[in-house]
Structure 1
């Protein structure tokens, strides 16, 4: 497989497409408004300018779906087109009126909105689904809601099979399936489904259903739930759906009239002021939930089924046993004494050593403009595990190892930091240092002294020992440091588990060093399709030739190692999943082999 990178680029033309010209025009009209980032997201699907504060409010109140172009917005655009065409038809002679024309205009506007959104997957999915519904109405086909749902899912898969990997796809599918299930299995009495006086009750009923039935996906994907999502959505959905979105749709055709366009954008901005006025206080309702309580998220679906069939009256003992199982399910799985998890952070390194609900981190992944791996990977993992970090060991100064330290210290100011370089507030991670932590002994084997800036060969090498099993963490040491270690501390290097030096580079993992360590398992943290082509095929062969089990994050995803009293096990994430067809493309086989 070949790889390439761009060295120099010359634009073929400086002319922009129609969408980009419209986007530039809208930015000029709305750039001074407070919520311009959300307005751009509503029209063009541009999320990169959304501030972290606004994003946190939306996520922690369960209203993020309102601010990104999805099925709701596509349907609103289609309804706008349908209503506009119906209004025009009222002015036409009866012989010119075509009954299906409003439906076709609605589809056209839906696809136009999807084009404005940059043809992002959620918008395309929604437009496809609306097109299926329109064809059913046009042809007069009689079918159930579940049949329409299945046809839409099938069409999405036919158009883009890789959609099966998308979290947003499953959220959309389960949300629609949950609504169908809710309205069929737990409907309101007939009298409450009629008349405007019960409209608020119907909205509350809908939001209750979607909140209960999406719990499992929310816990699994977002690692938490919002206790205030119900009032937040009851407040925000009508305002965004029937005030903000129609205003931004109206502002688009007015782009050629700047004063009028700006006034329309200003009104949309003021409507968001009203929305966020209530959402910000409701943000405090967000709670983080760890993996031990994931089974509880099924109580919504089970509760509806049990209530509908009346099992709580007929089989009270069985229902009580089911609830008890879900509550106590976390105790059924044998818990290890301690564990080591190499997180999948791309090209970089982040390892979590966990014991009794507390953790020590070894490196913190990389950093980039606008984010880092601590924010997007490490911290969500710690919260999902219900683990509190107490210390961080930084192997050396390179950004792919130290990038997330700043964010971690902002979140946990009391963290103890060990490093091999001179930095105020850091403890020395140099040869001879050792300490006990919750029954584990940490021994520093390298480097011999502190330096101002720690390079690869200054990496902090730490051995972790529980009296029976040993783990050796090596950072990015290269052959020079390996030789000095092998020469001076050969008897101290033996370990059951080795973090492969320098991501499997040819400049590391020398044969004498491997003989001294002699690990059963060797774990490498590597990024898939990284420009350095790491790990090296020669290094992989070197490990395998002498019988060491090689596992890396590029192929296997997160790697979890669990230590019990009489055994230990290595659990690569992707291999633990069922062998679906797409795993053959996304991780089971190595590209270089």
Structure 2
């Protein structure tokens, strides 16, 4: 806040000085005044969760929270989710929102409730490139989470305490539209609900994946496309009804804001609605509206409402796509002067293609950074799917008005059903096109800056002389920076990342040139698959398309669970494990996938070596050849990763018996870094073993509040007594160990813990 005050004082001083000199630029000064205002407002929003009384009470057991439900509850599996605007906690006044997950399905918007139990702060990003749920919730003013336990009480104190407009108009209208869509379209109503209500919760996973791969997710996210469709449809309806011009404009504005409220007032919906309202206001007052002014007003409205929207990917994509279309489309059209002479159908297809190219060019860096893919096939898919979506939205509006009329409702419902089928078929078709999309790593800030500079120059080749010079100068500067980085910035020989997969193990060893080895894959439960939710997104984030090896230390579910998903989707040179089979569905699936895909399958035992680069290799320390381990844990593959002068010990889930065998079999097992055996249990990390390894850094891969109570206090005390820097994935998130020639650097994702060794 001091920076904002200081900047404001400087501006005031400049203002006084400019008055004295007589060269005041009021417009420039007005815009500059928004900088400290926005900075101060943003700083207040960022600090609000930390300063909130909700944050102070989070983590305490048996809290009593009272407040009003401010969202319409929705079902998620066997529970109901709603947001509670808190009035007090434990009898003390509080403010902010808590997201509740309860078993009571009778809760409604506007209910005043009292809940008893434990509230928790949301967990932030736990792995590189992963979704930051904490920031997402904070951006929407949600500071804590509550999940009803078996003995926790949820009591309704009063009804009807919400906003009367929302409670009396918006929610009944949503309920009506859902009932009509369900009645007339059956199971195919999910797409129409997405278009009319902005609801995607019912979207089947396979359909959602097809939309993602084909680059058509924007059809499901309420944005300018939907608001523009509604704008056109209703303005034409009001014109056909001979409504006076100005009344027609006002009614259209009303419809747009009603639609925005129906869809939940998302940033993209508000942006499009504000822009549409500004344009219509210009029509009302018979004044020309400037599109960039409309965009600026929309951004200002959203950011004053919540400055943290600036970091919301929906906000970024919405505004970037809009600006890109407005700026690039006319310039792209100038490059095709013959298009206007073509038949009308060719012109429309060509213009649609240019619009898609403009939107993709503008949003490509954000999409690459967020989703690690670029769907080139969307350029063609837009030409077919967007018009079909327009038709479906029109049918949905007819259903809204005539859905309860027997004959008409059935007719429109049948039309909606078949149009939805057509959209699903087209999306599936484009998603299945070979090489229709490309996976990519997240671009750095410098790459994004150079990309946009080059894009502006390319777009102005026919208009500006400086554009040609820029297209030569920008790549030259970029190449110089890359050359400098390669020569003078030291790159690690290898990087070992211990991912936070909850109660399980997973580590990825990366070498220069995108070569990598995966050691274990985390767990697979009814709630999550670590391979799908954590490991695969990380590989995409890092741009790793092929694994030199996948090593499964042993067949326990918390180590092998995520591997089947990876085996099916990533090119793998070979799989290695201890050859200790398990009688489980997970192991059977794991083994059958290896056989079906003809992946090389090796059995590891002590004395073997895996060389993966000139300076790095794995020595296998366990299991001992010719022996029968007494448990799956003691059958674990133990690897000593040697890279230059530095060593990392991967221990799987070995217990004291295997530790004793390793100590007796090898003269030296020293390593600077150790993955603590068996999540820090009481049956492993014997003092003799740990002292012989003599680590300086230890990583415990463990889940928060796990039922085994790992890690044990004995293990923690032992490592601390030996002055070992201890990292824990449940507390610190993923841990990256960067190995240089004579140096090791370990960094936790939350940046609070670091360690360096020479």
TM-score by length of 1: 0.77
Q: For 1:488-507, what aligned pairs fall within 5 Å after superposition?
A: 488=664, 492-503=668-679
Change (3 A) 1:315 1:43: closer
Query: Which of 169, 173, 185 is the equivalent residue of 1:30?
Result: 185
Cα RMSD (Å): 4.5
Q: CA deviation at 1:212?
A: 1.8
- Between 329-338 and 213-222, the greater mean CA deviation after superposition: 329-338
Q: Tell me if structure 2 keeps the 8 A contact 1:520–1:549.
A: yes
Counterpart position of 2:253: 103
Q: CA deviation at 1:363?
A: 0.8
Counterpart position of 1:409: 567
Instruction: Indicate whether 1:128 and 2:304 are aligned.
Output: no
Q: Tell me if structure 1 keeps the 8 A contact 2:256–2:273.
A: no
Instruction: Indicate whether 1:301 and 2:452 are aligned.
Output: yes
Q: Tell me if structure 2 keeps the 8 A contact 1:429–1:444.
A: no
Question: For 1:377-401, what per-residue CA distance to the aligned partner results, in whole angstroms no more than 9, with x for missing partners?
Answer: 3234334333521322223334332
Q: Tell me if structure 1 keeps the 8 A contact 2:727–2:753.
A: no
Change (3 A) 1:248 1:336: same
Which structure has the larger Rg? 2
Change (3 A) 1:468 1:300: closer
Query: Which of 398, 402, 426 is the equivalent residue of 1:250?
Result: 398
Q: CA deviation at 1:365?
A: 1.9
SS of corresponding position for 2:435: helix
Query: Which of 404, 408, 421 is the equivalent residue of 2:580?
Result: 421
SS of corresponding position for 1:100: helix
Q: CA deviation at 1:208?
A: 1.8
Question: For 1:334-377, what per-residue CA distance to the aligned partner results, in whole angstroms no more than 9, with x for missing partners?
Answer: 44322212234344322112335432211112224486232343
Counterpart position of 1:454: 632
Q: Tell me if structure 2 keeps the 8 A contact 1:477–1:502.
A: yes
CA distance in 2, matches of 1:326, 1:231: 36
CA distance in 1, matches of 2:704, 2:281: 47
Query: Which of 504, 510, 515 is the equivalent residue of 1:348?
Result: 504
Change (3 A) 1:459 1:172: farther
Counterpart position of 1:365: 522
Counterpart position of 1:176: 322
Q: Tell me if structure 2 keeps the 8 A contact 1:359–1:387.
A: no
Q: Tell me if structure 1 keeps the 8 A contact 2:216–2:381.
A: yes
Q: Tell me if structure 2 keeps the 8 A contact 1:107–1:130.
A: no
Change (3 A) 1:315 1:262: closer
CA distance in 2, matches of 1:185, 1:452: 72
Q: CA deviation at 1:318?
A: 2.7
Counterpart position of 1:563: 739
Q: Tell me if structure 2 keeps the 8 A contact 1:390–1:415.
A: yes
Q: CA deviation at 1:473?
A: 1.5
Q: Tell me if structure 2 keeps the 8 A contact 1:498–1:523.
A: yes
Query: Which of 216, 226, 236 is the equivalent residue of 2:365?
Result: 216
Aligned residues: 559
Query: Which of 523, 542, 546 is the equivalent residue of 1:388?
Result: 546
Q: CA deviation at 1:205?
A: 2.8
SS of corresponding position for 1:214: helix
Instruction: Indicate whether 1:76 and 2:233 are aligned.
Output: no
CA distance in 1, matches of 2:689, 2:619: 20
Q: CA deviation at 1:482?
A: 7.8
Counterpart position of 1:580: none
Q: CA deviation at 1:422?
A: 1.9
Higher strand residue share:
2
Q: For 1:447-526, what aligned pairs fall within 5 Å after superposition?
A: 454-455=632-633, 459-466=636-643, 468-477=645-654, 480=656, 484=660, 488=664, 492-503=668-679, 509=685, 513-526=689-702
Instruction: Indicate whether 1:67 and 2:210 are aligned.
Output: no
Q: Tell me if structure 2 keeps the 8 A contact 1:409–1:415.
A: no
CA distance in 1, matches of 2:722, 2:395: 68
Instruction: Indicate whether 1:266 and 2:417 are aligned.
Output: yes
Change (3 A) 1:260 1:532: farther
Q: Tell me if structure 1 keeps the 8 A contact 2:207–2:424.
A: no
Q: CA deviation at 1:493?
A: 4.0
CA distance in 2, matches of 1:78, 1:533: 58
Q: CA deviation at 1:83?
A: 4.6
